[in-house]
Structure 1
Amino acid sequence: MRLSVATVLSLVTSSLAVALVPRALTTSLMIPVDEPDGGGKGKGSSGGMSADKDCKSGDGGDGKTEGSLKDCKKFRIKSKGTAAGWVGQLDSGQLRIGLKEVNFSMESGQIMDDKKRGMWWTPPTDTLQCDVNQKPDKGWSAGCDGRLYFQDMSKYYQCEAENKTYNLYKKNGQAGKCGEVRLYMVGCGRGDDDNKGGDGGKGGGGGKGGGGEGGMPSPPSNGSQTPSNGTKPPHMVRFVSKPHRLVL
């Protein structure tokens, strides 16, 4: 069979076109997945107070006359207000603000000192004291911030004694120069144990979080699939295109 010149040229051109088309075209595309966030969004909360979110009593104590804690094996007492400091004892057992702190225990709302002397308001002036063989007054409790309540009372009174020490009373105006105070438990997870009396400043705010926007994670240096910073590597997505025959 004889072919014309035009037919031969057409066949040659088609063969060259097919030979020039690559068999497969492979394209790689880097698509980052789970790009790490820079963090740093959180704000620190100020310290100094209990972390308990349900604590509503605060320093004011408005509308609150009883705490949730009535049993504690060992704690100290701190005063805040017009006379601030640890609550200590005379040898007689009388409690005074400004003396070296002592340990107390509370069971079912009754407080005793470390010598097992019962704490009560002694008549007729209602002075706070611990006495031998004395049944302690019942009705003490501590709020979530450590504030001590006695029955329906949340505030007490101090009257100056000597050497910058102060007696504690249930009622105001019992002797000389007096003022209002609040009592706080320090122990059993309540109160702030900074070894100082007084209101003091609130704790400093927590620092802000880490740096800004996170970038692409660095490649691992150990040959593993996980970078050294713990983030996941980006997925490799591969696209493969099928060859197409060119038609002239």
Structure 2
Amino acid sequence: MERPLDEILAKDGRDGLVALPAIGTGIAGAIAEIIATGRWSQLERLRGEMDPEALFRSIPGIGPRYAHRLAEDAQLESLEDLEAALHSGELRIKGIGHRRKEMLAATLAERLGRVRLGTTHQPRPLPPVSMLLDVDRMYREKAAAGALRKIAPRRFNPKGEAWLPVLHARHDNWHFTAFFSNTRLAHELAKTHDWVVIYFQAEGQPEGRCTVVTETHGPMAGKRVVRGREDEKQLKEPA
């Protein structure tokens, strides 16, 4: 390279990376995260090494206490998750006020290569609920049949056992990665084989995430639902 990648990112944002030969939006996003943090959350996730708290502590102004709240209370796992939560207004963590949120948003925008471009945050596209439920069903069926590769997550796994099945799937223009939730809350509520976390990404778009669970009350009790999208009409999938 004639110019360091961090200089290209700082001056031209992700578009500057995408303009390089053979670099698409997905690889550009990975490069931006590695430049900003020295880590790539997707790779750590697939290796079972994901540590959201350590990732959030790499952001100036976030210490161990706030990093823990972001990972455990807000259930966030990546810089993209945090950015989306800040802009959607969904981040409600005690001790993180309006000024701190503005500072975090500015830092994330710079790290993710958005500030120099003058771009504004756009709502990430979402796959249809019916498609997410198809991925959820496929994952649970293959996991039950022992047909998926298992990883040994570092968190909440003192014996280092490879117990967590991982699914990769494509549907239309979407790429999905699914696995059972390995959060503190999932372990406390014994939901590590019920809650399914699905990461999704359309070509040229940022990554998103959702969780599919078995509803325990109300008219949807006993059905699989996508958290946050319970009111959509496509929710007909039984547990």
Bin of the TM-score, shorter chain as denominator length: under 0.3
**TM, length-normalised to structure 2:** 0.21
Q: Whose strand proportion is higher, 1 or 2? A: 1
Q: Whose helix proportion is higher, 1 or 2? A: 2
- Whose Rg is larger? 1
Larger relative contact order, structure 1 or 2 (CA cutoff 8 Å, min sep 6): 1
